[in-house]
Amino acid sequence: MSRSSAPRLFALLLLLVLPLLAARPQRVVSQAVGTDELLLALADPGQIAALSHIGRDGRFSVVADEAKRFPSLKDSDAESVLRFRPDLVLAASFTRPETLALLRRAGVRLVVLDRFDTLEDVYASLRILGRELGQQARAEALIASCRGRVEALAARLKGVRPVRVLTAGAYPFTSGAGTTFQDFCDHAGALNVAAEAGLKGHAPTPSEKLLTWNPEVLVVSGDRPDGADIRARLAEIPHYRALAAFRAGRFAVIPGALMSSVSHHRIDAYERLARALHPERFR
């Protein structure tokens, strides 16, 4: 290669690559906690213009600390989003429909992720996002590492007897089939007694029938690792008090933000739950 042709080649390469770089969105705004978690995993920091307003709240967000490094929306409404002049907005199907309509009308590129129930759903979302951000390779690498963790966990739990569990909250709601919690159970060697009894989605805990379900362990979301706070509150509810698992103090505590996480971070919840239910497999 001659000395004079090098800058020319560089210029040519630049001309070829520039449109690709420009096509990558550079001002992405994420409107929901779930999309914050996915976005932070895939985007270059420079691509992120703002994250959701509760993304930096540790009670709801697994990535709260990381999110604090970025600007955050003041609210979840369209105006707060548009203030950042985004070239891509990420929202979730549970975002208020009025907000979505306003964003669509404003003409910004809007990606609405709508599947959150299983890990396969998360992988699908990661792929969509990878494409949108121009970060396909990163998305595939993350998916591969997630699959690796899930397989390793499955190998550890091979042949265990599923432990009968119930999610218990201070207000009597529980999670049945088709919920994130069911997904946790499917991966952590647990049997969700609410789903077994035919409960679908999130539903009020039946107080009397609960006694016949016979859960061995109560899975609670709590901000204290020993779950003392949540235990005190459950003690106020007669139908929990009557359960053998409650009386014997058999609890598995999952941090609240993880319990409600709809991103790949849920694998942490699988691992924690599995560790709590089958400690002998983790020695």
Partner 1 sequence: MKSRLALPALLALLVLAFLASLAFGELRLSFGQVLGALTGGGDEIARTVVRDFRLPRALVGAAAGAALGASGVVMQAFFRNPLASPGLLGVSSGGALGAVAVLALAPATGLAAATLWALPLASILGAFAATGAVLMLAQRGAGTERLLLSGVALNALLGAGTSFLLTTTAGHFEVNAQILFWLMGGLESRSWEHVWMGVPAILGACLLLLPLGRPMDLLSLGEQSAQSLGVDVRRLRRQLILLSTVLTALATAVGGIIGFVGLVVPHVLRLAFGPDHRRLLPYSMIGGAAFLLACDLVTRTFPLGMRLGVVTALIGGPFFLWLLRRPR
Task: Indicate the residue among 160 and 203 with the shorter CB distance to partner 1.
Answer: 203
- Smallest gap from Cβ 234 to partner 1, in A, equals 10
Q: How far apart are CA 25 and CA 84, in angstroms?
A: 13
Q: How far apart are CA 210 and CA 206, in angstroms?
A: 6
The phi and psi torsions of 104 (rounded to 5 degrees) equal -65, -45
Binding residues vs partner 1 (CB under 8 A): 54, 57, 59-60, 169-173, 203-204, 206-209, 211-212, 229-230, 232-233, 235-239, 241-242, 260
- Smallest gap from Cβ 41 to partner 1, in A, equals 22
Task: Indicate the residue among 208 and 280 with the shorter CB distance to partner 1.
Answer: 208
Task: Indicate the residue among 25 and 169 with the shorter CB distance to partner 1.
Answer: 169
- Smallest gap from Cβ 232 to partner 1, in A, equals 4
Task: Indicate the residue among 144 and 235 with the shorter CB distance to partner 1.
Answer: 235
Containing 166, the helix (H) or strand (E) segment is strand 163-167
Task: Indicate the residue among 154 and 228 with the shorter CB distance to partner 1.
Answer: 228
Sign of CA dihedral 196, 198, 201, 203: negative
One-letter amino acid at 139 equals: A
- Smallest gap from Cβ 54 to partner 1, in A, equals 6
Task: Indicate the residue among 47 and 179 with the shorter CB distance to partner 1.
Answer: 179
